Structure 1
Amino acid sequence: MKKLLFLTMGIAFFTGMKAQELSVGLDFYNRYVFRGVDFGNSPSLQPSITFTSGNFTLGAWGAYSTGNGAVGAFGEADLYASYAFDFGLSLGATSYYYPGTSWFELDEGVSSHAIELNLGYEVSSFSFAANYIVNDSRDGAGAEGGDTYFELGYGAGAFDLFVGAGDGWHSSTGNFEVVNVGIGTSKDIQITDSFAIPMNGAVILNPNSEQLHLVVGVSF
């Protein structure tokens, strides 16, 4: 299934080579919360490298906890590719990988990656996302295959509202559950007249796990 992502990345790389840009970034969050689930039990460093060419984007993104030992240690290294249409639709694929297992196949036909197809749509202040895991990676990344996640968002000026629901690896039961309800906001920390550090935060409730998370981070 990794071939699916690499094919998408290859098409993106060799098509529409105008307005190319290569960028690198680093986010620092007090927690890593993904779709309502808390990972790592410690602050998280999240590096990224992104190549854009026209409407195509290729990227690598990671999350590495600052804690040590079995309780705090967590690592993630993802690859993704996407194409954004001018009318608000975006299509893509993401490969989720967690260091500690082989980046290649664990055994014949057993993948260490969870490959997810991504669809997003934005119109006015509303957004919608749909995601689908295409492969069984229970012995590697932990997804059974067929896992789905859907999210609705609304931008209300100073803050954003969102609600997400999913099954498979998103919920404690494996059944379709509401797992990610929250409100987020952002601001710039002005350092000089020409330099500011973006900061964002969110209050996130996971009704499925009955946990509340407060996440704040800065970007460089």
Structure 2
Amino acid sequence: MKTMTFRQPVLAATALLMSFTTFAQEENKFEIAPAADLVSSYVWRGVYQTGPSVQPSIALSYAGLSLTAWGSTDFSSMSDPNKGKEFDLTVGYGIGGFSIGVTDYWWAGEGKRYGNYSNSHFFEGAVGYNFGESFPLGITWSTMFAGGDKDADGDQQFSTYVEAAYTFSVLGVDVTPGIGVSPWTGMYHKEGKDGFALCSIALRASREIKITDSFSLPVFAQCIVAPNQDNVFLVFGLSIK
């Protein structure tokens, strides 16, 4: 799970607009991009996942195509083996402001079988568009289409999350307000709630703190209101790239 850009903790997260990670390359060159985030809590699409977590990633990209591995490990995962560990793989393509991707989510927990694809894995397709620097609005539609995303009767419920975020700069701080909705009943809904859901209203602020002349540390804070869950969150994070 993740907030977008397509998958970086904000709004993904996620954030940014990211439930998957894609790279639009202007040149046909191969790139490897390792990164990691340290977050005070892991909140995905308005739903609390775990407490303080380390979230590393590595992305391989060439000519608009990308393959990204992203993970999250909660500091308490060793004491609670039923949660705290996630491993996601995304294949994506981006050209101009358009991006498309398929993600295999796995968050069964530490010590659980990775190979249980029918129940432990969640497969999602996502499509997004960013209008560019003159109007920095990004919109993403993400739908689960296979795997463990099933309702009480065992039927695929095609859980869908639609996210919009707009990024601008104020006094050297990048500010990203965003909103996320689920158009029909799915995995993002609190038990007992059905139909259209307002999942997340978020405001993220990020900047780089200068440590030395050659090194700066990116930090961010994000306030998240989750009406569908009747909850609120304030998340702090550090990024290393």
| Alpha-carbon distance between aligned partners in 1 of 2:121 and 2:45, rounded to the nearest angstrom | 18
Alignment-derived partner of residue 151 in structure 1: 163
Structure 2 CA distance for partners of 1:89 and 1:146, relative to 1, 3 Å: same
In the TM superposition, 1:1-220 aligns within 5 A as 18-40=28-50, 42-68=51-77, 69-70=79-80, 73-86=83-96, 88-100=97-109, 101-105=112-116, 110-123=118-131, 124-138=135-149, 144-158=156-170, 159-166=175-182, 167-172=185-190, 173-220=193-240
Q: Distance in 2 between matches of 1:49 and 1:175?
A: 36
Aligned residue pair count: 199
Contact in 2 for aligned 1:77/1:99 (Cα 8 Å): no
TM-score (norm 2): 0.76
* Conserved? CA contact 1:56–1:82, under 8 Å: yes
Aligned letter for 2:94? Answer: A
2:55 aligns to what SS in structure 1? Answer: strand
Q: Give yes or no for contact 1:136–1:145 (8 Å, CA) kept in 2.
A: no
Q: Provide, for residues 9-40 of structure 1, a one-character-per-residue CA deviation record: whole Å limited to 9, x for no partner.
A: xxx9xxxx931011211110000010111111
TM-score, with structure 1 as normaliser = 0.82
Q: Deviations along 1:103-159, whole A, 9 cap, x unmatched?
A: 2236xxx342110001111112211110011114158xx994411100111223231
3-state SS, counterpart of residue 208 of structure 1: helix
How far did residue 99 of structure 1 move? 4.0
- Give the match's secondary structure for 1:105: coil
Relative to structure 1, the CA distance from residue 143 to residue 176 in structure 2 (aligned partners, 3 Å threshold; closer, same or farther) is farther
Two-structure CA RMSD over aligned residues (Å): 2.5
Q: Deviations over 1:65-107 (max 9, x none)?
A: 1125339941110000111111x1100011000244322236x
> Which structure 1 residue ranges, 5 or more long, are not aligned?
1-11
Q: Which runs of 5+ in 2 are unaligned?
A: 1-21
Q: 1:111 to 1:99 in 2, by over 3 A?
A: closer
Partners of 2:168 and 2:107 lie apart in 1 by 35
Bigger share in helix: 1
**d(CA) in 1 for partners of 2:82, 2:115:** 25
1: CA distance, partners of 2:108 / 2:122 = 13
The whole-number CA distance in structure 1 between the counterparts of 2:194 and 2:34 is: 36
Distance in structure 1 (CA, Å) of the matches to 2:114 and 2:144: 18
Question: Is the contact between residue 114 and residue 143 of structure 1 (CA under 8 Å) also seen in structure 2?
Answer: no
Does the 8 A contact of 1:144 with 1:168 survive in 2? no
Paired-residue identity, %: 28
3-state SS of paired residue (1:134): strand
- Are the counterparts in 1 of residues 59 and 67 from structure 2 also a CA contact under 8 Å? yes
How far apart, CA to CA, are the structure 2 residues paired with 1:71 and 1:59? 25
